[in-house]
Amino acid sequence: MPLSCKFEVNKLQPRSMNFLAHLYLSFEDDQITIGNFIADSIRGNKYKHLPEKIQKGIVLHRAIDTYTDKHPIVRQSTKRLHENYSHYSGVIVDIFYDHFLAKNWSEYADTPLPHFVDNFYDLLENHYDILPIGVKRMMPYMIADNWILNYAKMEGISRVLNGMNRRTQNKSKMNFAILDLEEHYADFEKEFTYFFDELIIFSKQKYLSLR
């Protein structure tokens, strides 16, 4: 379930690990961006107290997840990993896909990635009071280590996978997935490119329908 893979400090649970994709698919709309980012930290319909556009960002995030979960190209990517990583394969594909988005960022956006990421961190700080507690706890680590920007580098992906493996008490063996990325790099990148082009169209249509 690539766009709905979650983790907590000591274990993995369904939660999006492709932060950059969800931010990009918020179409530079500040409150949609906040909703899209915090969606996985909110259960059910416990978001009705939030500003209307943030609620719409949560709805957009969930629609993106549902679309992604069913997409045959994403399933092709996860299938390549399933034998070695079982149900963690979706988490890994999330990370791989964010790597390719970060690496090829200039093909999708005019704003340089470092500026885009800095603007997002400022946005988080400006909305700090309404962020879920889990996001507040994660923020200092995300910003200090610049997770999103470092997705563009293989060493950054390797650090993320090592960290995720530690959170599973070394049960997932996700640290070895960097070898799968290196071995099948062209295949994963091609799959990401085909899929993401279609996801942009779907997400834009959904975004416009929520306005």
Task: Please list, in sequence order, all residues whose beta carbon lies within 8 angstroms of the beta carbon of residue 205, skipping any fewer than 6 positions away.
Answer: none
Give the pLDDT score at 2.
Answer: 42
Give the pLDDT score at 207.
Answer: 98
pLDDT in tens, 98-147: 999 999 999 999 999 999 999 999 999 999 999 999 999 989 988 998 98
Give the pLDDT score at 26.
Answer: 98
More confidently predicted of 55 and 8:
55
Give the pLDDT score at 10.
Answer: 36
CB 172 within 8 A of CB 85: yes
* Element at 138 (helix H, strand E): helix 133-145
Give the pLDDT score at 16.
Answer: 55
Break the chain into its structural domains and give their ranges: 19-210
Share of the chain above pLDDT 70, in %: 92
Task: Please list, in sequence order, all residues whose beta carbon lies within 8 angstroms of the beta carbon of residue 96, skipping any fewer than 6 positions away.
Answer: 77, 157, 181, 188, 192
pLDDT in tens, 13-27: 445 578 999 999 999
pTM to 2 decimal places: 0.91
| Helix, strand or coil, per DSSP, at residue 122 | helix
Output helix, strand, coil percentages for the chain, rounded to the nearest 5: 75, 0, 25
Report the alpha-carbon distance of residue 133 to residue 118 in Å, rounded.
Answer: 21
pLDDT in tens, 77-99: 999 999 999 999 999 999 999 99
Token pair, residue 196, equals 């993401």
User: Does position 190 have pLDDT exceeding 70, yes or no?
Assistant: yes
Give the pLDDT score at 77.
Answer: 98
User: Does position 6 have pLDDT exceeding 70, yes or no?
Assistant: no
User: Does position 35 have pLDDT exceeding 50, yes or no?
Assistant: yes
